[in-house]
Structure 1
């Protein structure tokens, strides 16, 4: 695995993708659990036979990929479905993300995991955890504008995730995303310098 792994997380609408991109611009590697999940659930994705066997063809979009909206509705109707879905996807995502971290050649890797706190296992794989934080009202506003959801739908998703307080409790570092991109960029640059220094210390200690 890359010598230094930084776990990146945050609630829906917090701006995780923007922050991850800024780290990449600074020279960090990126392994994105959400992107891996999308790879697994396209029409010919590795996970699709297992998902179809578990939930039936009602979860398929017309082109044979996972219909995320249909899956979300099923999970809201029956909380056990979310656990069944995660039992299929999470081990595969964990395996692929570990392989990609090991293959990374950058000084350190950002491991972006939306449900990092909820998984309970990523702390063992990360040297550092950075949380992207903003007020919950701003999360709701952003997701409504981005996805065309109602406030109630966004709140329902947020209710299935760790709370803002729970995320902040596990954070080694926090990026506050409640203003413009310039403010976020300044925070990322400072953290990038710190991670390079910490990575160098870890390398020195291992010699």
Structure 2
């Protein structure tokens, strides 16, 4: 299991890394690796000297990090040149360390610039350590001997906490006491990280809670933001095999009551590709559920049910995956891109977004059925007759508006 650990300079990320290590995590520290890949005698150091000159070296021939820092933190172009030299070497070294970890390990990648370099989707979870700006300034001046201007420049060169919150699956507030921080880490370790790691190793979906409807989890990570984070992870692990990736279902319709479950749709060329993706998705934290999965067919524009096997996706078959994370329920529907089930999911979502009366009607149906059913399976099946009745109206709306499936990123 891979966790990306990050936080602004002075937030106390290293302290949280130590607490995780005490609980059994294998910590791969990008800062340590960054020093190793430019150590004396390495090709990395030779490139750095070529780019910035010998004046960034100390008397011992090693990088004078404060001197180099004064150059790159004041100049974005210089910082980009340094990153181009160091980051690929650090990624290679980190991958080697992670690969050497025992099966079932929790590997924590301590990455200061995880957000800035868009590395969040490379991990099962992102853990951000935060602290107030004033506390961070005080720590940098007290513990690292930085002047106020230098400390502020270092902080300004990094992402803001608002950007980190958008990608954070877990947040540790390290403003208070050591004991308070340790208590937060312990809760995350016992309630989320270890159950997730165990589910991942066993290849099983996390258990789901009771059927409850809500209108959203609120800021700073509403459903749309959470969905896009997961979709980017799926795109990254699936590569070219994933032709489209969308947020669908009720959580994709602003203001609509829904179960706190993200429904995501992946479009692939055919179900053979979907089967080839199954192991990749499982490793990424989305094991496939056994059985024959399909959507209920709806009559097409010619009044047919779309049951002819000669048409792509005509039988509305799909593959179904769900996530191993006990604290973020996700359903992944893998359908043939352009097939009727794929089109229905997108058309239904967009119709509800556009038609307030249909949205309100569906909300009433959902709330009534939620009172009658305790299980998600029974609740989902009970909604099918309403979908059948709504289908002609959906088609009329799509025809009248000239609706077409949206691009993959929407």
Cα deviation, 1:157-179, whole Å, max 9, x if unaligned, reads 11100001111111000011011
Which position in structure 1 is the counterpart of 2:35? 38
Q: Which of 156, 163, 186 is residue 166 of structure 1 equivalent to? A: 163
Cα deviation, 1:60-79, whole Å, max 9, x if unaligned, reads 11111111111122224432
Which position in structure 2 is the counterpart of 1:23? 20
Which position in structure 2 is the counterpart of 1:197? 195
Mean CA deviation greater in 122-131 or 38-47: 38-47
Distance 1:200 1:40 in 2: 33
Which position in structure 2 is the counterpart of 1:60? 57
Distance 1:45 1:20 in 2: 27
TM-score between both structures, scaled by the size of structure 1:
0.93
User: Does the CA-based 8 Å contact 2:74-2:153 persist in structure 1?
Assistant: no
SS at match of 2:5: strand
Distance 1:138 1:78 in 2: 26
- Give the CA RMSD over aligned residues: 1.4
Which position in structure 1 is the counterpart of 2:71? 74
SS at match of 1:116: coil
User: Does the CA-based 8 Å contact 2:127-2:172 persist in structure 1?
Assistant: yes
User: Does the CA-based 8 Å contact 2:127-2:169 persist in structure 1?
Assistant: yes
Pairwise CA distance, 1:58: 1.4
Distance 1:175 1:78 in 2: 31
Pairwise CA distance, 1:29: 0.7
Pairwise CA distance, 1:101: 0.9
User: Does the CA-based 8 Å contact 1:44-1:65 persist in structure 2?
Assistant: no
Structure 2 residues without counterparts, runs of 5 or longer:
204-281, 288-410
Distance 1:56 1:148 in 2: 25
Q: Which of 123, 126, 130 is residue 126 of structure 1 equivalent to? A: 123
SS at match of 1:44: coil
Q: Which of 84, 89, 92 is residue 87 of structure 1 equivalent to? A: 84
Q: Based on CA coordinates, which of the two structures has the bigger radius of gyration? A: 2
TM-score between both structures, scaled by the size of structure 2:
0.48
Relative contact order, CA 8 A, sep 6+: which one is greater? 1
User: Does the CA-based 8 Å contact 2:3-2:125 persist in structure 1?
Assistant: yes
Residue 186 of structure 2 is aligned to residue 185 of structure 1: no
Distance 1:125 1:170 in 2: 12
* Misfit runs of 4+, over 6 Å: none
